[in-house]
Amino acid sequence: MAFSEKVDPELIFTKQEKIGKGSFGEVFKGVDNRTQQVVAIKIIDLEEAEDEIEDIQQEIMVLSQCDSPYVTKYYGSYLKGTKLWIIMEYLGGGSALDLMKAGSFEEMHIAVILREVLRGLDYLHSERKLHRDIKAANVLLSEMGDVKLADFGVAGQLTNTTSKRNTFVGTPFWMAPEVIKQSCYDSKADIWSLGITAIELAKGEPPNSELHPMRVLFLIPKNNPPQLTGSYSKPFKEFVEACLNKDPDNRPTAKELLKFQFIRKAKKNSYLMDLIDRYKKWKSQRSEESETESENSDSEECRGGDGEADEPWIMTVRGGAAARALQTSDDKRRPPPDTGNYNTYTFKYQFSLIDR
């Protein structure tokens, strides 16, 4: 892992408020004291994340190799004691999931977001990289409406000798059928996840969000592909249908999807600033209401920022066959009670192929 142990990150960066959680650790807003540049600081306790060190290394490696305006920039890593500081580009507009909390999106906004995500995927796939966890929570926006892919904790690399992967990894609601079945898969798995994300952006949640995530893992390979239903335009529905073809060979590439009518007619990124402004007003109003409630009752805790309720439930299974894990999971891997949010379920499965 490439990081500096000689430099104290607390001398270089001023850590400010917590802005969220990533695949590993917490994320803070911060300032580079040398340049006054605002940055995002992900802090991971390596003692607590001992089982995930390989995945953390993977995230750093993927980020350090990426150079694209559609992927969050990586500035470096520092180790202080057991705490690893990963310094990244700060995107102050929030995630697409955050922005949906203030209200639904119009098709115009969705088209812009999907176009920018496709540009990011086109870049990653041309570099033989898979994201493997495309969803609204991992799409970040700058205050100017720039859209970038984030959270590469489960990203994968397609080597020259191996054109397809067979690791079982991602978040269930967005996971492609071939990934769940542990078939060999390639960049087309990201395209399926993009189709699910398109439905999420339109409806506010992915298909099957009312079901337990483990149940969804059984249904996705068995059922017909989800469809975008409702009063949406024909080009939008055609885009989603193309992404959600169960045969990955028949799914378009990111480059091909950029030519679809729904994407070609998308407006400028600056149109997304309306969503960002709306979210900031919603968040400010919510914060004021929380302060009022907290003043009215000493015993009631202030709800604070919206990131607190979104703590993911990360489950890593290491073993032989997916079926064996799934058979026992419903009884032994119940989610935390009363989460009330489909996006709290983030799973990461990595099955060894040795005993297959």
Q: Please state the residue numbers annotated as binding site for ATP.
A: 42
HEC per residue, 260-317 = CHHHHCCCCHHHHHHHHHHHHHHHHHHHHHHHHHHHHCCCCCCCCCCCHHHCCEEEEE
Entry field: residues in the chain: 356
Contact 350, 167 (CB under 8 A): yes
Q: Residue 195: how many CA atoms within 13 Å on its side-chain side? A: 26
Contact 26, 42 (CB under 8 A): yes
d(CA 206, CA 222): 17
pLDDT in tens, 192-248: 999 999 999 999 999 999 999 889 999 999 999 999 999 999 999 999 999 999 999
pLDDT band at 107 (very low <50, low <70, confident <90, very high): very high
- DSSP class of residue 6 equals S
310 pLDDT higher than 80:
no
Tell me which amino acid residue 241 is.
Answer: E
- Region 254-269: what's the mean pLDDT? 98
Nearest to 145 by CA among 268, 264, 262: 268
Token match 């919206």: residue? Answer: 306
Mean pLDDT of the chain: 79
Q: What is the pTM of this model?
A: 0.79
pLDDT in tens, 264-283: 999 999 999 999 999 999 99
Token duo for residue 317: 């299974």
At 128, give phi and psi (nearest 5°).
60, 40
> Which residues form the catalytic set?
133
